[in-house]
Amino acid sequence: MNSQSEFVNDIAALPATQRVKLTEIFLSIQGEANTVGWPTTFVRLTGCPLRCGYCDTTYSFYGGEWHALQTVLDKVAALGAKYVCVTGGEPLAQQGCVPLLNALCDAGYQVSLETSGAMDIADVDKRVSRVMDLKTPGSGELARNRYENIPLLTTHDQLKFVLCDRTDYEWARVQISKHQLDQRCTVLLSPVHDQVKPCDLAEWILQDRLPVRMQVQLHKYLWGDERGR
């Protein structure tokens, strides 16, 4: 029988496409996007090249442990949920992310991917609902937006703006019109928790008759933490 160190070395020796560095896998209620409210297994991968000012999962930037894709699939199966959300960090920064998404889809799960919009989404399995950000000025990462991703979005995908203030809202409104985003996919507007009042965002949307879906982070109202995204 291999020792623990030998086992770790075996995982590290796998090709990058056959393993992922994992921060955590857990079962929770989905707090955002189109499957909000459904019991969901969250697969949180480690690492992110961005540093958004409002990030609530900074603990996933570092650390983590390598796992073979089959080990991840086994852990997901043990939790028993129909929905699986692969998140981070920035999952697409890992070469094993796309093969993992393929494998989850092949296993029959309804899969979503949370991605920053700074990485190429072209190779992501079309069965996956890609929940992609466009980073606002208030995020501090506006320059990282990969606008080439926008034409790749379909009605199966979702585009999210996380809003720090009214300036971010106005910027998002321009982008929605400029790129006709509401005609491509579901557009989500999400207020930064404790920075933008949800009631204020609701009023702005109604005043402008904006064709978007407003969302709040349900998990923070339930538990006050990051569980559920």
Domain ranges of the chain: 4-222
pLDDT confidence tier of residue 13, bands split at 50, 70 and 90: confident
pLDDT confidence tier of residue 228, bands split at 50, 70 and 90: very low
Q: pLDDT at position 3, please?
A: 57
| DSSP per-residue letters across 113-173 | EEE-SSS--TTS-TTSEEEEE---GGGT-GGG--GGGGGG--TT-EEEEEESSHHHHHHHH
pLDDT confidence tier of residue 161, bands split at 50, 70 and 90: very high
> Residue 57 contacts by C-beta under 8 Å, 6 or more apart in sequence?
44, 87, 88, 89, 226, 229
Which one is predicted more confidently, 2 or 94? 94
d(CA 213, CA 125): 24
pLDDT confidence tier of residue 76, bands split at 50, 70 and 90: very high
Which one is predicted more confidently, 221 or 54? 54
Distance of CA 74 to the CA centre of its chain: 21
Distance of CA 207 to the CA centre of its chain: 29
pLDDT confidence tier of residue 126, bands split at 50, 70 and 90: very high
Query: HSE (CB half, 13 Å, CA atoms) of 69?
Result: 21
- State the average pLDDT over residues 165-170: 98
Q: pLDDT at position 229, please?
A: 47
> Residues of the chain with pLDDT > 70: what percent?
94
Judged against a pLDDT cut of 50, whether residue 191 lies above it is answered with yes
**Cα distances (angstroms) measured from residue 42 to each of 36, 127, 184:** 13, 17, 26
Look up the CATH architecture of domain 4-222: Alpha-Beta Barrel (3.20)
Average pLDDT, the chain: 93
